[in-house]
């Protein structure tokens, strides 16, 4: 979540509306002025609260730096402090603007509870967001309206929490709702849907989703297809799919065999280059509920020669544990 950039857009769009007629060139000049000193232009409780959200997100992200060097006890102590600080920051923002949806979303996630416990508050927050934004004009793609992005983030969190609590049909339904609102799918709901359809063994829906996004392969789609075909018992096709995942996704085999701990998304999935190792670590992390339901999958995959040697070669080249 690039909250500061969104704050600039919010402030600039509000000033544009106040000024009335403003050319595109004039709006670009306004954007640059706001970007140069956004706090100078803030003029409402909503913007003040969102500024606090932006600072909280930046502070939380910076606090994570170096934590991977800590031992387990030190890491979890630092993480607990981070979450507590984020929760307090959200309380401060909500004291200024109780309707700040992003502060409410972050506050729910900062409680760091299990998905079954988190899902209820997220579903309630989704209904609040729909009621709060219900009067807003709906563009062809909701992401183009910066004030609608909190709703999309909430739906993304609902979808992931549904998936993590084994409510795969609900996860796909919420994901599809968000994609319908924002076909550009900046937040990557299609990735959660792909894994959900794999778990549901719904090949028709999986393929339709793949076609809708022009078969732009990702770590999620390649891994999801391998899981789907494995669950359907179509082993030659599953073998080709896992080999494709291994070949197309950098370090994908290593990420599957040696999964890496990924921290809570606050609130969005971290950005990663397409088909990169970072994307592979995110996909494997998110697929964990499904992989746990299919305990033989990883053992089967690492028993395939090219998968095993790809993982070993990647570890040797990058100096990772093996």
pLDDT in tens, 30-77: 999 999 999 999 999 999 999 999 999 999 999 888 777 788 889 889
Does 284 lie in the same domain as 171?
A: no
What residues have CB less than 8 Å from 169, skipping those under 6 apart?
196, 200
Residue 183 within any structural domain of the chain: no
Residue 85 to residue 294: CA distance in whole angstroms: 37
165 and 251 housed in the same domain: no
Domain for residue 4, yes or no? Answer: no
277's enclosing H/E stretch is helix 277-286
The Cα 123–Cα 136 span in angstroms is 20
Spatial CA neighbour of 93 closest among 214, 161, 3, 219: 3
Domain boundary among 153, 178, 203: 178
Give pLDDT tens digits for 208-263: 999 999 999 999 999 999 999 999 999 999 999 999 999 999 999 999 999 998 99
141 neighbors 182 (Cβ within 8 angstroms): yes
**Token pair of 23, please?**
């050319």
d(CA 203, CA 301): 20
Domain annotation covers residue 72: no
Residues 232 and 286 both lie in one domain: yes
Q: CB under 8 Å to 181, separation ≥6 — which residues?
A: 138, 141, 142, 148, 151, 152, 155
Residues 234 and 142 in one domain: no
pLDDT at 187: 98
How many domains are contained in the chain?
2
Looking at the fold, whether 202 and 247 belong to one and the same domain comes out as: yes
| Statement to judge: residues 126 and 193 lie in one domain | no
**218 in the same domain as 164:** no
120 and 139 within one domain? yes
Residues 234 and 260 in one domain: yes
Give the list of residues 6+ apart from residue 92 with CB closer than 8 angstroms, or none: 52
Q: Tokens 């990647």 correspond to what residue?
A: 314
Q: What are phi and psi of 272, to 5 degrees?
A: -150, 145
The position carrying tokens 């509920």 is 289
Q: Classify the phi-psi angles of 166: left when phi > 0, otherwise alpha if psi is within -120 to 50, otherwise beta.
A: left
Q: Which domain holds residue 171?
A: 113-178
Structure confidence by residue, pLDDT tens digits, 261-310:
899 999 999 999 999 999 999 999 999 999 999 989 999 999 999 999 99
pTM of the predicted structure, to 2 decimals: 0.94
Asked if residue 197 has pLDDT above 90, the reply is yes
The reply to whether 135 and 234 lie within a common domain is no
Shared domain for 316 and 257, answered yes or no, is yes
């Amino acid at each position: 979540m690039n909250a500061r950039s969104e704050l600039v857009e919010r402030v600039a769009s509000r000033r544009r509306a106040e000024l009335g007629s403003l050319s595109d060139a004039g709006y670009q000049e306004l954007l640059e002025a706001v970007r140069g000193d956004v706090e100078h232009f803030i003029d409402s409780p909503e913007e003040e609260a969102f500024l606090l959200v932006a600072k909280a997100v930046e502070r939380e992200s910076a606090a994570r730096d170096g934590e991977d060097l800590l031992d387990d006890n030190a890491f979890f102590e630092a993480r607990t402090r981070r979450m507590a600080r984020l929760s307090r920051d959200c309380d401060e923002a909500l004291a200024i603007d109780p309707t700040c949806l992003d502060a409410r979303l972050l506050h729910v996630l900062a409680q760091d509870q299990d998905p079954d416990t988190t899902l209820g508050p997220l579903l309630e927050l989704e209904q609040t967001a729909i009621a709060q934004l219900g009067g807003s004009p709906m563009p062809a793609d909701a992401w183009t309206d910066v004030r609608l992005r909190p709703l999309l983030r909430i739906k993304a969190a609902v979808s992931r929490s549904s998936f993590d609590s084994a409510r795969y049909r609900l996860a796909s339904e919420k994901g599809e709702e968000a994609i319908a609102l924002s076909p550009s799918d900046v937040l990557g709901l299609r990735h959660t849907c792909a894994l959900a359809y794999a778990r549901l063994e719904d090949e028709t829906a999986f393929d339709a989703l793949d076609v809708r996004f022009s078969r732009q392969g990702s770590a999620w789609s390649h891994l999801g297809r391998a899981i789907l075909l494995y669950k359907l018992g179509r082993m030659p096709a599953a073998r080709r799919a896992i080999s494709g995942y291994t070949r197309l996704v950098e370090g994908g085999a290593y990420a599957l065999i040696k999964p890496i701990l990924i921290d809570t998304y606050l609130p969005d999935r971290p950005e990663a280059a397409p088909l990169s190792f970072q994307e592979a670590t995110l996909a494997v992390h998110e697929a964990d509920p499904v992989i746990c339901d299919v305990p033989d999958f990883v053992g089967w995959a690492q028993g395939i020669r090219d998968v095993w040697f790809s993982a070993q070669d990647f570890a040797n080249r990058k100096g990772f544990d093996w």
